[in-house]
């Protein structure tokens, strides 16, 4: 996967410098996800994780399990292979009634996130992030901050929708696929964010990159270097381009500084709510500024947008709320994200709805079809 990514990174420079034709390498769909699954299985075999080898057909099904093949979650062999083995032995999988209900709800939620919320948020951020030809310097600083925030919401609705659909179809088929998101925007620190966001990826880089580098069992300075190296490689995994590399390196540095500061200077912050608010503001400031590089088409574009975010002289200029899409799109998308975060964070608050599930489930399906048809018409 890294070879394909680096070829994509180098290809524009090759063609400009040498006018070479035919240097294009087509990137296979979802190569990063199934490459990680294959690597994890190979490493587990090398480490002797399994006492016995698996059958060829079991391994093939594990590597080509269609519900999560394209966009994750990145399943580990110990999560899926036992379920596949049970299938081969004739006592699984079985989709219970409870799993059928869970699966249908997840499919409905996933489609709503993907078709409705993502489309609404995309229309909001498109004026700024829709083209690499856009000049960020023409936008109000507040518009750039709101644009990055809108992109983060959109990334969540789009990416978590794939996970919901994968888990939903998995439950309908009798397979349990792990949770991949746990209300990430309810984070209290960047470290906490990575305990909530893309969990299967976070666990993968922890187990196969961070811990082999020494993890937290080495000298303190070495631990901080491990953070930086791990997330530098995470940036390369997302895409071998300068903005992704800068994003990954920034995240690694932020995690190292966060770990250092809260160990040395701020150990008692969580006990004082005014300081918790300050900590949260600092966290979101670092989160938004680093995330800008994740969404930027080029490094020059990102640096221009970053400078505009702090161009305070422009604060009295154009109306920031009119430079992007309709602010109602950001508010509506944000409320949708808040609702699904509450479902993840406080599931007990919604238990009472189960008594009405017999008519809520078909009603939600009908409403979803109507809403999707309206969006398709637009």
The number of distinct structural domains making up the chain is 2
* Same domain? 179 vs 160: yes
262 to each of 42, 165, 270, 323, how far by Cα in Å?
A: 37, 38, 10, 39
Q: Which of 88, 111, 135 is the last residue of a domain?
A: 88
- Beta-carbon contacts of residue 192 (< 8 Å; ≥ 6 apart): none
* Same domain? 76 vs 134: no
Give CA 229 to chain center in angstroms.
Answer: 20
- Beta-carbon contacts of residue 15 (< 8 Å; ≥ 6 apart): 21, 23
* Same domain? 39 vs 81: yes
Residue 236 structure tokens: 């390369």
* Same domain? 171 vs 279: yes
The tens-digit pLDDT sequence of the chain (378 residues) is: 444 454 444 444 433 333 344 445 556 666 777 788 888 888 888 887 775 677 888 888 888 788 777 777 888 888 888 888 887 776 666 778 888 989 999 999 999 999 999 999 999 999 999 888 889 988 989 999 999 999 999 999 999 999 999 999 999 988 889 999 999 999 989 999 999 999 999 999 999 999 999 988 888 889 999 999 999 999 988 887 899 999 999 999 999 998 887 766 665 555 677 777 888 899 999 999 999 999 999 999 999 999 999 987 766 655 667 788 888 999 999 999 999 999 999 888 888 887 888 888 889 899 888 888 877 655
* Same domain? 84 vs 112: no
CB-based burial, 261-291: b 16+ in 10 Å, e otherwise: ebeeeeeebeeeeeeeeebeeebeebbbbbb
Is 116:122 a contact under the CB 8 Å cutoff?
Answer: no
Q: Which of 59, 88, 117 is the last residue of a domain?
A: 88
| Rounded Cα distance, 7 and 14, in Å | 10
User: What's the pLDDT score for residue 190?
Assistant: 94
91 to each of 56, 88, 110, 175, 284, how far by Cα in Å?
A: 19, 8, 29, 13, 48
Q: Which domain holds residue 33?
A: 2-88
Q: Which of 88, 109, 132 is the last residue of a domain?
A: 88
Q: Which residues are catalytic?
A: 238
The string of DSSP codes covering 98-167 is HHHHHHHHHHHHHHIIIIIIHHHHHHHHHHHHS-TT--GGGS-HHHHHHHHHHHHHHHHHHHHHHHHHHH
* Same domain? 66 vs 149: no
- Beta-carbon contacts of residue 302 (< 8 Å; ≥ 6 apart): 243, 246, 292, 293, 296
Residue 361 structure tokens: 């489930």
Is 37:63 a contact under the CB 8 Å cutoff?
Answer: yes
* Same domain? 302 vs 356: yes
| Rounded Cα distance, 263 and 146, in Å | 32
User: What's the pLDDT score for residue 264?
Assistant: 66
* Same domain? 65 vs 214: no
User: What's the pLDDT score for residue 298?
Assistant: 93
* Same domain? 105 vs 153: yes
* Same domain? 173 vs 128: yes
User: What's the pLDDT score for residue 289?
Assistant: 97
User: What's the pLDDT score for residue 2?
Assistant: 47
User: What's the pLDDT score for residue 124?
Assistant: 93
* Same domain? 146 vs 25: no
| Rounded Cα distance, 378 and 376, in Å | 5
* Same domain? 72 vs 129: no
């Amino acid at each position: 996967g890294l070879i394909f990514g680096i070829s994509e990174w180098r290809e524009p420079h090759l063609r400009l410098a040498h006018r070479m034709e035919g240097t294009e390498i087509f990137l296979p769909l979802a190569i990063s996800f199934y490459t990680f699954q294959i690597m994890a299985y190979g490493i587990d075999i090398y480490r002797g994780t399994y006492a016995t080898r698996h059958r060829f057909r079991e391994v093939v099904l594990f590597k080509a399990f269609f519900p999560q093949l394209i966009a994750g979650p990145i399943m580990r062999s110990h999560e899926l292979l036992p379920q596949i083995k049970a299938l081969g032995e004739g006592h699984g999988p079985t989709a219970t009634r409870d799993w059928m209900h869970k699966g249908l709800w997840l499919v409905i939620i996933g489609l709503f996130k993907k078709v409705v919320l993502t489309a609404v948020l995309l229309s909001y951020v498109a004026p700024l992030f829709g083209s690499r030809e856009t000049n960020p310097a023409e936008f109000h600083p507040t518009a750039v901050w709101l644009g990055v925030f809108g992109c983060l919401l959109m990334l969540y609705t789009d990416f978590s929708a794939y996970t919901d659909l994968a888990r939903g179809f998995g439950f309908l088929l009798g397979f349990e696929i792990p949770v991949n998101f746990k209300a990430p925007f309810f984070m209290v620190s960047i470290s906490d964010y990575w305990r909530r966001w893309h969990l299967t990826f976070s666990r993968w880089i922890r187990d196969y990159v961070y811990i082999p580098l020494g993890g937290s069992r080495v000298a303190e300075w070495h631990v901080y270097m491990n953070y930086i190296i791990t997330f530098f490689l995470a940036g390369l995994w997302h895409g071998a381009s300068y903005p992704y590399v800068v994003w990954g390196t920034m995240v690694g540095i932020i995690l190292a500084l966060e770990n250092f500061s809260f160990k040395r200077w701020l150990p008692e912050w969580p006990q004082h709510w005014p300081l918790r608010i300050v900590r949260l503001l600092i966290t979101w400031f670092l989160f938004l500024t680093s995330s800008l590089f994740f969404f930027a088409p080029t490094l020059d574009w990102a640096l221009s947008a970053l400078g505009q975010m702090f161009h305070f002289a422009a604060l009295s200029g154009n109306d920031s709320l009119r430079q992007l899409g309709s602010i109602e799109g950001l508010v509506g998308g944000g409320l949708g994200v808040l609702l699904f975060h509450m479902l993840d964070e406080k599931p007990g608050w919604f238990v009472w709805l189960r008594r009405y599930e017999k008519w809520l489930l078909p009603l939600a399906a009908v409403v979803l079809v109507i809403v999707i048809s309206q969006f398709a018409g637009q």
